[in-house]
């Protein structure tokens, strides 16, 4: 059935607002339904920015942009694409963390799909309620480990929504190919369950065999209903994240961004840091604060990278050390979870990070603990005594969970820290220099990887693809950026970065025999032609 005139104004995918031309208003029956003046998309952007910038509170900016997405999808993405450095901290970290904690209270309009513990036996039917079939990317969470904020239950839906907006803004994956899903199995936090405005199931979190059976049905239903979709697991608790990735990585086209995406962006940062420090990859010794899925994911990819340079897996693993909540992970401990065992080495126990730094003398410390201010002044100063250019990566999100700030790292290291963080920090003036901290944002990796996998029709997502993405990302950092402290390309170039990563990932898919789409003569041109750019469609 053809859209009615008002449908063009009420459907966010069709709506151009005051951007409908006179000819379109004549043809579509819109005269009188809009103010008479026709405004260009650029003019509409200017109005959006004026209204956005007078809001002083980040969460109010988030709500304003969400309302824009609900009424005019093309304009929303054009604003993001043209002002990505300003908008990313609003639509994703750090503001998305606050948006998730307040999700039920700021709820305006449903977006995405909710699959609940009560849907066992009919998940495929629920998925078929989604109006689009040509889905390229699904981001799914069960809300148990949202950023560094813990179990937020169904309030975690803000994460899949935010991630998918970055797939479109940063890599041009078409919005209609993106599907956010929350698997609502309850929440372990009574204060959320008792919130009268909470919109999820007000029950204790489902666990054990019933949880596994629900996830099994979900993954199989995705393959049935959306057979070409890439499934991205997001913000699952460590144990489930590791188990689910191991269970499904060879059975479905899936990956876990917290494990593999974080690993790739961290590895890219290390590749860039090596250009500054001069210490080769095979001589890097990394000490992680935190030993969850993100930390071991980074270590696994780091080990794989060193294997490519001729070092044995066991020798490479001995270059990676972990400090968890009970101290240094060593072989003599009897309380270690399975995912830590490959990195439990022979060494005397150490109860804290500083002791571990002093005894192990690492070249780099990476924070994935969600414990703020744990890269203390003594720790950073110790790293600076050991290394002329210490690598300091506080990667925890949101900003409130960062292990240290950029200013602290630069000041305590005498301006010598090679720094990257998970959340954004402003440039720092130190000793007559302006030091620009890089943000190790997964948005540098997952959008381009997803686009490349879609173009190639990849049947699986492999570690080789993440390695290629990391190498490509690091190779795009210019010498002038390194000189200012940046370890990643400027965020304003992220669509160009994503295009290069998409080509590299697609090449791996073809090389590994995992592509189902015919290889085009000009792969880069094909990738770029697939990139949605938010420009208004022409109706007449």
Contact present, 418 and 276 (Cβ < 8 Å): yes
Q: What are the catalytic residues?
A: 92, 163
> What is the number of alpha carbons within 13 Å of residue 299 lying toward its C-beta?
32
Distances (CA, A) of 209 to 52, 213, 215, 518: 47, 6, 10, 41
Distance CA 167, CA 92 (A): 12
Contact present, 151 and 189 (Cβ < 8 Å): yes
Measured from the Cβ of residue 38, the count of other Cβ atoms closer than 10 Å reads 16
Q: What's the CA angle centered on 371, arms 369 and 372, to 5 degrees?
A: 130
Q: Report the relative pairing of strands 433-435 and 428-430 from DSSP bridges.
A: antiparallel
Measured from the Cβ of residue 132, the count of other Cβ atoms closer than 10 Å reads 12
> What is the number of alpha carbons within 13 Å of residue 233 lying toward its C-beta?
30
Measured from the Cβ of residue 207, the count of other Cβ atoms closer than 10 Å reads 13
DSSP state of 281: G
User: H or E element: which one contains 418?
Assistant: strand 418-421
| Closest to 288 measured CA to CA, from 238, 357, 347 | 357
Peptide bond into 135 cis (omega under 30): no
Distance CA 39, CA 16 (A): 10
Distance CA 267, CA 249 (A): 21
């Amino acid at each position: 059935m053809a859209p009615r005139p008002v449908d063009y104004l009420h459907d966010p995918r069709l709506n151009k607002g005051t951007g409908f031309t006179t000819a379109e208003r004549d043809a579509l029956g819109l005269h009188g339904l809009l103010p008479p003046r026709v405004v260009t998309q650029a003019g509409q952007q200017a109005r959006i920015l004026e209204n956005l910038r007078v809001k002083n509170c980040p969460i109010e900016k988030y709500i304003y942009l969400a309302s824009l997405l609900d009424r005019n999808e093309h304009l929303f993405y054009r604003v993001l694409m043209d002002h990505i450095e300003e908008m990313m901290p609003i639509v994703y970290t750090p503001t998305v963390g606050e948006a998730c904690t307040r999700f039920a209270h700021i709820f305006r309009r449903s977006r995405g799909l909710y699959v609940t513990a009560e849907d066992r036996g009919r998940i495929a039917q629920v998925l078929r309620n989604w109006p689009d079939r040509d889905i390229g990317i699904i981001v799914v969470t069960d809300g148990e480990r949202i950023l560094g904020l813990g179990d937020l239950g169904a309030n975690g839906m803000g994460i899949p929504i935010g991630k998918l907006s970055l797939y479109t803004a940063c890599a041009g994956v078409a919005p209609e190919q993106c599907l956010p899903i929350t698997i609502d199995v309850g929440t372990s936090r009574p204060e959320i369950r008792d919130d009268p405005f909470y919109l999820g199931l007000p029950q204790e979190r489902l666990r054990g065999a019933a949880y596994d059976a629900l996830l099994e049905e979900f993954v199989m239903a995705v393959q049935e209903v959306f057979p070409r979709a890439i499934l991205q697991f997001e913000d699952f608790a460590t144990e489930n994240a590791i188990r689910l990735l191991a269970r499904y990585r060879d059975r479905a086209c899936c990956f876990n961004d917290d494990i593999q995406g974080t690993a790739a962006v961290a590895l890219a940062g290390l590749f860039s840091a090596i250009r500054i420090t001069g210490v080769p990859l095979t001589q890097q010794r990394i000490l992680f604060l935190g030993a969850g899925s993100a930390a071991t994911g980074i270590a696994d990819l780091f080990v794989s990278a060193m294997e490519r340079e001729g070092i044995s897996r066991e020798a490479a693993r001995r270059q990676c050390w972990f400090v968890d909540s009970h101290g240094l992970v060593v072989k003599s401990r009897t309380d270690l979870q399975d995912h830590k065992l490959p990195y439990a080495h022979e060494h005397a126990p150490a109860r804290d990070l500083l002791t571990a730094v002093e005894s192990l003398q690492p070249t780099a410390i990476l924070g994935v603990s969600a414990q703020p201010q744990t890269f203390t002044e003594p720790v950073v100063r110790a790293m600076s005594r050991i290394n002329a250019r210490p690598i300091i990566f506080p990667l925890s999100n949101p900003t409130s969970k960062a292990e240290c700030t950029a200013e602290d790292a630069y000041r305590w290291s005498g301006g010598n820290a090679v720094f990257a963080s998970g959340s954004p920090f402003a440039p720092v003036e130190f000793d007559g220099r302006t030091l620009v901290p890089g943000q190790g944002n997964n948005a540098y990796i997952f959008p381009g990887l997803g686009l490349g996998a879609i173009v190639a029709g990849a049947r699986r997502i492999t570690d080789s693809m993440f390695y290629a993405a990391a190498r490509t990302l690091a190779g795009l950092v210019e010498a002038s950026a390194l000189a200012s402290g940046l370890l990643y390309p400027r965020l304003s170039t992220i669509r160009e970065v994503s295009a290069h990563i998409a080509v590299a990932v697609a090449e791996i898919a073809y090389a590994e025999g995992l592509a189902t789409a015919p290889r085009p003569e000009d792969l880069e041109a094909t990738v770029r032609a697939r990139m949605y750019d938010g420009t208004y469609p022409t109706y007449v």
